[in-house]
C-alpha cells in the first residue's frame, strides 16, 4: 500500500516548479504582493489559496482554460466564461464539477476535511488553501497527480515523484496489457491464479504474460503465506486518456471483448439508438453521457462484493461529418 500523499509538500514544490527561473521576489511583486510571499508558500510557512495558485500558473505562462479542458468534462460554464480580467479563478465551480455525484459527506470524508469547510468552499463562501484544494481534487477524481501534471512534471517534485512513477508504470501496463484491468479485478475477487484464464476466457499463455507484467509494474504481488496474488498498489485511478492514440487501442480492445461475448443476447445488456439531433442538443447529450459515466464509476467504487467481472462500453458516436468536415 502506498504511503499517504504529502499535500503540503506537494503544494510548496508545485509553486516552486511553476516559478521556474523567476526570483521569488519578482514573482511576489508580479502577483501584487509587497512582501516575499512566494518564499513563505514554497517553504510551507503559508499556502496560497486555490485561486492564488491558479494565478501563479497563469502568470507563469500556463493557459488555464486549455489545460483544464483536458481534465474536467463537461467543461463548466463558469470556467468557460471566466477570464483573469473578470476576477479570481472560480474555485467553487471547479470543485462542484469535480465533486460529481458525491454527497458532501462523502467528499469531505474522502478528503479528510470537515464538512463545514467543504460546504463553504463549494458554495463560494470561502476557498481552500492549495493543499486542501489538491485533497479535494484527489477525493473527487482520484487523479490529483494527473491534475498536477497539467502544470508541471510531477517527477520533478520530490514529494510526488515516487507516486507519479508508480502511476506511470500502471498506465504503461494498461496500454501494453489491456487485459490487466480485468485481471486485477480477478485478484480482488480472491481467485486463485490458475483460474484466471478460464474465468476470463483467455489462453493460459495470455493470462500468465499479463500476470508477470502486472507483478513487474507493482499492480499485484505474490503472497507466499496465502499462495495467491494480492493487490500491490494503493488503488490509484489510472487515466489512459493521457495518450489518446494508445487509449483508442484500449477502447478497441474492450469493445471487441464485448462483441466477442455478444453472440447471445441473454447475458450481455446491450441497447442502442440511431437518431438525429441539433449540434446544441448533441452537446447536452454529451454532458448527460459524461454524468452517467461518473455516476457509474461512483457506484462501482462503492461495490461491496466481487461476484462478477464486467466491462461497460458506453459510446456516443456521431456517424456523419460536421460542417467543418470532421
Query: How far is 82 from 89, CA to CA, in rounded Å?
Result: 7
Residue 236 is predicted with a pLDDT of 63
pLDDT in tens, 128-173: 999 999 999 999 988 999 999 999 999 999 999 999 999 999 999 9
pLDDT of residue 263: 65
Q: Which residue pairs from 82-89 have beta carbons closer than 8 angstroms and sit at least 24 positions apart in sequence? A: 84/55, 84/58, 88/51, 88/54, 88/55, 89/50, 89/51, 89/54, 89/55, 89/64
pLDDT in tens, 238-286: 888 888 899 999 999 998 888 887 765 566 677 788 889 998 899 889 8
Mean pLDDT (whole number) for 285-306 = 79
Topology of the domain covering 163-231: Arc Repressor Mutant, subunit A (1.10.10)
> Which residue spans within the chain are E strands per DSSP?
220-223, 228-231
What is the predicted pLDDT for the residue at 1? Answer: 46
More confident call, 122 vs 294: 122
Residues of the chain with CATH 1.10.10: 163-231
The grid coordinates listed for 149 are 501534471
Task: Reply yes or no on whether the pLDDT at 31 is more than 50.
Answer: yes
Amino acid at each position: 500500500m502506498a504511503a499517504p500523499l504529502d499535500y503540503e509538500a506537494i503544494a510548496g514544490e508545485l509553486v516552486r516548479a511553476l516559478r521556474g527561473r523567476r526570483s521569488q521576489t519578482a514573482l511576489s511583486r508580479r502577483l501584487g504582493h509587497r512582501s516575499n510571499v512566494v518564499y513563505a508558500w514554497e517553504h510551507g510557512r503559508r499556502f496560497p489559496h486555490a485561486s492564488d495558485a491558479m494565478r501563479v500558473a497563469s502568470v507563469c505562462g500556463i493557459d488555464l482554460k486549455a489545460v483544464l479542458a483536458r481534465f474536467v468534462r463537461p467543461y463548466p460554464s463558469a470556467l468557460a466564461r471566466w477570464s483573469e480580467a473578470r476576477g479570481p479563478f472560480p474555485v467553487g465551480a471547479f470543485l462542484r464539477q469535480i465533486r460529481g455525484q458525491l454527497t458532501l459527506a462523502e467528499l469531505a470524508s474522502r478528503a479528510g476535511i470537515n464538512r463545514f469547510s467543504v460546504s463553504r468552499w463549494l458554495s463560494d463562501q470561502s476557498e481552500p488553501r492549495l493543499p486542501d484544494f489538491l485533497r479535494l481534487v484527489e477525493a473527487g477524481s482520484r487523479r490529483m497527480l494527473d491534475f498536477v501534471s497539467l502544470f508541471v512534471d510531477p517527477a520533478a517534485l520530490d514529494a510526488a515523484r515516487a507516486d507519479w512513477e508508480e502511476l506511470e508504470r500502471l498506465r504503461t501496463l494498461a496500454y501494453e496489457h489491456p487485459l490487466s484491468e480485468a485481471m486485477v479485478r480477478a485478484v480482488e475477487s480472491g481467485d486463485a491464479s490458475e483460474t484466471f484464464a478460464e474465468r476470463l476466457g483467455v489462453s493460459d499463455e495470455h493470462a500468465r504474460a499479463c500476470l508477470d507484467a502486472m507483478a513487474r509494474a507493482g499492480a499485484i504481488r505474490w503472497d507466499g503465506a496465502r499462495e495467491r496474488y494480492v493487490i500491490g498498489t494503493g488503488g490509484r485511478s489510472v487515466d489512459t486518456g493521457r495518450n489518446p492514440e494508445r487509449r483508442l487501442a484500449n477502447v478497441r480492445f474492450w469493445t471487441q471483448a464485448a462483441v466477442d461475448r455478444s453472440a447471445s443476447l441473454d447475458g450481455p445488456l446491450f441497447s442502442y439508438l440511431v437518431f438525429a439531433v441539433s449540434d446544441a442538443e448533441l452537446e447536452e447529450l454529451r454532458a448527460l453521457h459524461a454524468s452517467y459515466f461518473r455516476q457509474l464509476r461512483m457506484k462501482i467504487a462503492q461495490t461491496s462484493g466481487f461476484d462478477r467481472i464486467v466491462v461497460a462500453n458506453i459510446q456516443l458516436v456521431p456517424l456523419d461529418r460536421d460542417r467543418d468536415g470532421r
